[in-house]
Structure 1
């Protein structure tokens, strides 16, 4: 009987010890398990907080977070410095539809009125002689006197003054060169109709072809041509003869 009671007590002690050990082990394991679960549950929240911005407590931004790719930054264009008024496109289109009238360049002297051809021939002969006085009877007098640059009473003396030499040889050479080019008929069909040498007087310099530029450079230098381009037109010497054979002008300028 005593042996049985002793055995029962021993079993009770062992069960108590096992129960205490189990409780102690459970108390040790449960906090760690709860902490691990808590950490797992907080991972999504912490990730979303990291995406939203820096930590409110520390102000630090996680280094492994990268901003979302929003594409290249678009820089707005600045406003124009000068605000131009709106153009009337209707009027512009009407002007664009009106092409400039082409210039008819003439070269055949035999096809112009005989008085014009005759006066040109007389001028060429006088200039080629080297004697500027031979121009005097061709320059006219009074109301029919030829207009020359300078407006002096004596046109021959005026031409001598325009020449680079005292005898007027240079101006005679220029006169020959001008009358050797092509020519145009200006103010056609009007009382002011005039045959004009050279034809550059009526053509925009920007429209000249390479051969036409060669013609022009026989009269002027490259420097003269550059100045003419700035001015926008030919401004060297020109000769005008009316259809009835009057030597109208021999002038330089615009």
Structure 2
């Protein structure tokens, strides 16, 4: 079951819905890339901002992670990670120790830069995907599931709180948001904090 959840997390981390991923697999050999496919076929999801709309279990997990991230408290974050049967996916490779994985991704070498990104991501708008299914998930920021070429000016300003204009330009060329995103399932389990590429 965890393998299925991890595979689903990776599909979400790449900015695809499971349905689109299945369609892409079925049409292998098509010249259209999956990221472009997302922008052309996926409807714009409902973007939510109020954490009060989250189920209690999801809101509690999000709040705990956010508190640790804002404090730069890696020990508290480790405690949160260890509270789950399996650690969240933090890298697409062999991540080993979760906190060490975060430190290795952080330009400051201490994990604090990545903690700042984690906080920014969790303070952004979010989306609810695959509601009522075993893959029911809340994803931050909503850009991970939103057509990157259909952002309004105000949404682009929101995105610039998380990424630079250079990174945004690369995303436009790629066809989808490919920076850090967080996934928490409807039962409050933290599944991933990864950056797609």
- Superposed, which structure 2 residues align to 1:171-190 within 5 Å? 171-190=114-133
- Looking at structure 1, the residues matched to 126 and 83 of structure 2 have their Cα atoms a distance apart, in angstroms, of 26
8 Å Cα contact 1:152-1:158 kept in structure 2: yes
1:22-61 to structure 2, matched below 5 A, reads: none
Secondary structure of the residue that 2:70 maps to in structure 1?
Answer: helix
Residue segments in structure 1 that go unaligned for 5+ positions in a row: 1-98
Secondary structure, aligned partner of 1:159: helix
Deviation of 1:131 (Å)? 2.2
C-alpha displacement of 1:132:
1.5
Q: What TM-score does the superposition give when structure 1 sets the normalisation length? A: 0.59
- Point out which structure has higher relative CO (alpha carbons under 8 A, 6+ apart): 2
Instruction: Give per-residue Cα distances to partners, 1:197-232, cap 9 Å, x unaligned.
Output: 000011111110100000101111111011111110
Partner of 2:59: 117
In 1, the alpha carbon distance for the partners of 2:82 and 2:135 equals 18
- Asked if 1:239 corresponds to 2:182, the answer is yes
CA distance in 1: counterparts of 2:76 and 2:137, whole angstroms: 23
- The answer on whether the counterparts of 2:84 and 2:189 sit within 8 Å (CA) in structure 1 is no
Question: Is the contact between residue 195 and residue 242 of structure 1 (CA under 8 Å) also seen in structure 2?
Answer: yes
Secondary structure class of the residue paired with 2:128: strand
Paired with 2:84 and 2:154, the residues of 1 have a C-alpha distance of 40
Instruction: Give me the whole-angstrom Cα distance separating, in 2, the residues matched to 1:102 and 1:160.
Output: 34
Q: What is the aligned counterpart of 1:222 among 156, 165, 173? A: 165
Q: Which runs of 5+ in 2 are unaligned?
A: 1-40
Which structure has the greater CA radius of gyration?
Answer: 1
Deviation for aligned residue 1:100: 4.9
Asked if residue 209 in structure 1 is aligned to residue 114 in structure 2, the reply is no
1:139 aligns with 2:81: yes
TM-score scaled to structure 2, two decimals? 0.75
